[in-house]
C-alpha cells in the first residue's frame, strides 16, 4: 500500500513509451481534472542519453574533476559504464503527465563530496545529480555553490599583540565607526531625537509631489517615515555631529528644506512590485534570474533589499494565506495500483516459429545483448527492428530504469533518439558535405595520413550458406537497397545453425557463376572508356564571388559531357566547336582517372550557355532519359538542315543612263 502511494516531492518513474526507458520526474503538484483523472505537475530530470555529445564531454570532465578532488577509489570499466546510467541532470522545465503513467519510485540526491560513487551502484533505484541542464540554451551549469570547508577557505588570524606592544595598523582603513555607545546623551534624549527625525520625514513627504501621490494619506506618510531608513539617517547624523543635538537638528532641516530619506519600498513603483511578485512566483528566491528576466534596470542589491522589505508588508501575508488555502485544496497524495499489463515488446506471441527471435524460453544460439545469457523466463525485443536483438528479463528491467545496458555495446548507441544527428536521407547536400571529414583541411590531412593498402573482405563458408538458408531473415535485396542499415550477423548465423540440419537433407542447388579473367575485364574497360579531349581553358562565367576564387583543377577534374552532332563534330560544354585539324598543345589526350576522396575539389557549379540550352531543345524525351541513365556516353544531336534562301529575281533596268533630277 505504501509503495503505491505517491506524494508531492517524490521522485518517480514515468513511462511514455513501451520501448524507451522510463522518464525520471519529481512531483510538484497533484491536480484533479474535470473528468476525474489525476495529473501530476512534475520537474524534468534528464539522462546522459538525452543530451548532446558536447555536453556529455563536459559532464565527463566534471566527473573527472570530482573524482580527483574527492579521491574516489579506483573503478573498473564496467562500473564506470554503469555509473553514467545513475547520473541525472536537473532542470527547471515543468510538464504535466497523467498520474496513471507512474511506474514506481526512485531516489535522487545531490552529489556530495563525501559520497562514494560506487555506493550508488550497490543500491537499487538510486540516482545522483550535480549539474543543471537548460533544454532551451543547451547548457550545463553547477547546481549550487560548494560548502567552503578546509584550510584554503579559512581566514589567517595574526598573532596576539603583547601588552607592551602597540597596534601599528591604521584603524580608519580597517573599519568605519558608525555609533559610539559611550556617548554623552542619555537614552530618553536619543528617543526624542528619533521622534523628531520621523516627524521631519513625514513633513518632507508632504512637501514632495511624488511622495504625496504614492502616500496620499497622512497615515501612509507617517508609516513610510517610521521605517528603518529614517532611523538610520538620524543615528548617522548624531554620530557625524558628535552627539550634539543642536547641530544634529540643523542637519536634519537645512536651509533648502527638510531631508527626505527613501528606501526601496518607496523607490519602486506599483508595476515594478507586480513584476517582482510574478517573478518570485516563477523563480522563487533566485534573485539573479529575477533581475535578468524581469527587472534588468534594477541592481541585484536593490532586488534583495526590496524582497526583505516586501516580506514585512500585508501583501506578503495575503499571498501566503492564498497559497496555504490553495495547497489545502490540492491533492496531497494519490494511490496508483501496480501496472500489470504485458509490454508490447514482450516476446512470446502464440504461434511463433521456433528459432526466431519471437520464440519464448530458451533457444539455442540466441542470447541476451547485454549479459549474453541464453536462458530466461521471458525475452523482450530491443533496438531497431532490423537488428532483431533481444534482452532477458533482468536486463530489460535495467534498460527501462537506467536507460542503458549493463555492459557497453555498439548497439546501445543505435537506440538513442532526439539528440543525435538526423539521418542523411533527410539532409540537404550542403549538410551532408558539412558532415564529411573531407570538407576540412585538417580532416583531409588526417585521412590522407592513413595507410592506403588494399584489403579484401572474404566471406566464410558458413556465411555463404547462411545467405541461402536464411533468405527470409537476411533479405539480401532489401539490405542491398539500404546499405546504411546494419545486419545482426550473429542472429543470422545462430538461425542458420538451427535450420542447417533440416536443410542438409535436401540437396542445395549451387549455380556456378562464370567469371571472366582479370585481363579480359581490363581490356573491356579500356574499350568502354574512350579518350576524351580537354576543353580549351577559358575564364568561367562567374555566378557569385566565391566561384572566381575556385581552383582550376576543379574544372579539369569534373568536366561536362560533350554534345556531338550528326556529322561527328563534338561540341564543348559552352557550345563552341573544337578546333579542327591538328590537336593543340593544351588539348593533349588524357585517360579517365578516378578522383580520390582526399583530393576531391570543392563543389563546382556549371552555367549553361545559350548554345547549350538551344541544343537541349533538339533532344527528345527518350534521349534525355537515356543520357541521364548513362552520363558517361556522349550525346549525339541531329541538327535540322537550315532552309535555303529563295533566289531574288533581278529586274533589268529600262536604260543604263543615270536619272538626273533638276530643282
pLDDT per position as a tens digit, 69-102: 888 888 888 899 999 999 999 998 999 999 999 9
How far apart are alpha carbons 383 and 388 in whole angstroms?
8
Which grid cell sits at 582?
591538328
CB 41, CB 31: distance < 8 Å: yes
Please tell me the predicted confidence (pLDDT) of residue 396: 93
104 beta partners: 13
Residue 538 vs residues 197, 572, 580, 584: alpha-carbon distances, Å: 93, 12, 18, 15
Q: Whole-model pTM?
A: 0.47
**Helix, strand, coil % in the chain, rounded to nearest 5:** 40, 15, 50
User: How far, in Å, CA of 4 to CA of 333, rounded?
Assistant: 10
Q: Which of 571, 561, 574, 576 is nearest to 624 (CA)?
A: 561
pLDDT of residue 387: 73
- What is the rounded distance in angstroms from the CA atom of residue 347 to the CA atom of residue 356? 10
Q: Return all residues near 71 (Cβ < 8 A) that are at least 6 apart.
A: none
Note the pLDDT of residue 650: 56
Crossing angle (nearest 10°) for helices 270-283 and 300-310: 90
184 contact partners, CB below 8 Å, separation of at least 6 = 243
Q: How far apart are the first and last CA of the chain?
A: 131
Distances 536 to 380, 576, 637 between C-alpha atoms, Å: 66, 10, 22
**Can you list the alpha helix ranges (DSSP code H) found in 476-618?**
476-481, 489-503, 518-528, 552-557, 610-616
Q: Pick out the chain residues at pLDDT < 70.
A: 1, 143-150, 152, 210-219, 348-365, 410-456, 503-513, 528-606, 640-663
Amino acid at each position: 500500500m505504501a509503495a503505491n502511494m505517491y506524494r508531492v516531492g517524490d521522485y518517480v518513474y514515468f513511462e511514455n513509451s513501451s520501448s524507451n526507458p522510463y522518464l525520471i520526474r519529481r512531483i510538484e503538484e497533484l491536480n484533479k481534472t474535470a473528468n476525474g483523472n489525476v495529473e501530476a505537475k512534475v520537474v524534468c530530470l534528464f539522462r546522459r542519453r538525452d543530451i548532446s555529445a558536447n555536453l556529455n564531454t563536459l559532464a565527463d570532465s566534471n566527473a573527472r574533476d570530482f573524482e580527483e578532488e574527492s579521491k574516489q577509489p579506483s573503478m573498473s570499466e564496467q562500473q564506470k559504464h554503469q555509473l553514467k546510467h545513475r547520473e541525472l541532470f536537473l532542470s527547471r522545465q515543468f510538464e504535466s503527465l497523467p498520474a496513471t503513467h507512474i511506474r514506481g519510485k526512485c531516489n535522487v540526491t545531490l552529489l556530495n563530496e563525501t559520497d562514494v560513487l560506487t555506493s550508488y551502484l550497490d543500491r537499487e533505484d538510486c540516482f545522483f545529480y550535480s549539474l543543471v541542464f537548460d533544454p532551451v540554451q543547451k547548457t550545463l551549469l553547477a547546481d549550487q555553490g560548494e560548502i567552503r570547508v578546509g584550510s584554503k577557505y579559512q581566514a589567517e588570524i595574526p598573532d596576539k599583540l603583547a601588552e607592551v606592544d602597540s597596534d601599528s595598523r591604521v584603524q580608519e582603513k580597517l573599519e568605519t565607526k558608525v555609533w559610539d555607545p559611550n556617548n554623552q546623551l542619555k537614552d530618553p534624549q536619543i528617543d526624542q531625537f528619533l521622534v523628531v527625525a520621523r516627524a521631519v520625514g513625514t513633513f518632507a513627504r508632504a512637501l514632495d509631489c511624488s511622495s504625496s501621490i504614492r502616500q496620499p494619506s497622512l497615515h501612509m506618510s507617517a508609516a513610510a517615515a517610521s521605517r528603518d531608513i529614517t532611523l538610520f539617517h538620524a543615528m548617522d547624523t548624531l554620530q557625524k555631529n558628535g552627539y550634539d543635538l543642536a547641530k544634529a537638528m540643523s542637519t536634519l532641516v537645512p536651509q533648502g528644506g527638510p531631508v527626505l530619506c527613501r528606501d526601496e519600498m518607496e523607490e519602486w513603483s506599483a508595476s515594478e512590485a507586480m513584476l517582482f511578485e510574478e517573478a518570485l512566483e516563477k523563480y522563487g528566491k533566485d534573485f539573479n534570474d529575477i533581475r535578468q528576466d524581469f527587472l534588468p534596470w534594477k541592481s541585484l542589491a536593490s532586488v534583495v533589499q526590496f524582497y526583505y522589505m516586501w516580506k514585512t508588508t500585508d501583501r506578503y501575508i495575503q499571498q501566503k494565506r492564498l497559497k496555504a488555502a490553495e495547497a489545502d485544496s490540492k491533492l496531497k497524495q494519490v494511490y496508483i495500483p501496480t501496472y500489470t499489463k504485458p509490454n508490447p515488446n514482450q516476446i512470446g506471441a502464440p504461434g511463433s516459429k521456433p528459432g526466431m527471435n519471437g520464440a519464448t524460453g530458451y533457444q539455442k544460439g540466441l542470447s541476451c545483448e547485454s549479459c549474453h545469457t541464453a536462458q530466461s523466463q521471458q525475452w523482450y525485443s530491443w533496438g531497431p527492428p532490423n537488428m532483431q536483438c533481444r534482452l532477458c528479463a533482468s536486463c530489460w528491467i535495467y534498460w527501462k530504469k537506467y536507460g542503458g545496458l549493463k555492459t557497453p555495446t555498439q548497439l546501445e548507441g543505435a537506440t538513442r533518439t532526439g539528440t543525435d544527428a538526423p539521418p542523411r536521407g533527410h539532409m540537404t547536400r550542403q549538410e551532408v558535405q558539412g558532415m564529411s571529414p573531407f570538407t576540412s583541411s585538417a580532416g583531409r590531412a588526417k585521412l590522407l595520413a592513413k595507410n592506403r593498402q588494399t584489403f579484401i573482405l572474404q566471406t566464410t563458408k558458413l556465411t555463404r550458406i547462411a545467405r541461402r538458408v536464411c533468405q527470409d531473415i537476411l533479405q539480401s535485396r532489401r539490405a542491398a537497397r539500404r546499405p546504411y542499415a546494419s545486419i545482426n550477423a550473429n542472429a543470422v548465423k545462430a538461425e542458420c545453425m538451427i535450420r542447417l540440419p533440416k536443410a542438409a537433407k535436401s540437396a542445395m542447388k549451387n549455380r556456378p557463376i562464370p567469371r571472366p579473367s582479370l585481363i579480359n575485364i581490363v581490356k573491356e574497360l579500356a574499350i568502354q572508356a574512350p579518350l576524351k579531349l580537354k576543353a580549351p581553358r577559358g575564364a568561367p562565367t562567374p555566378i557569385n564571388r566565391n566561384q572566381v576564387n575556385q581552383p582550376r583543377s576543379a574544372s579539369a577534374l569534373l568536366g561536362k559531357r560533350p554534345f556531338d552532332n550528326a556529322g561527328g563534330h563534338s561540341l564543348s560544354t559552352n557550345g563552341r566547336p573544337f578546333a579542327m585539324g591538328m590537336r593543340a598543345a593544351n588539348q593533349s589526350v588524357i585517360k579517365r582517372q578516378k578522383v580520390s576522396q582526399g583530393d576531391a575539389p570543392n563543389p563546382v557549379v556549371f552555367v549553361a550557355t545559350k548554345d547549350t540550352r538551344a541544343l537541349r531543345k533538339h533532344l527528345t524525351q527518350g534521349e534525355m532519359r537515356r543520357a541521364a541513365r548513362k552520363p558517361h556516353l556522349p550525346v549525339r544531336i541531329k541538327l535540322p538542315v537550315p532552309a535555303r534562301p529563295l533566289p531574288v529575281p533581278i529586274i533589268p533596268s529600262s536604260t543604263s543612263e543615270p536619272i538626273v533630277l533638276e530643282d
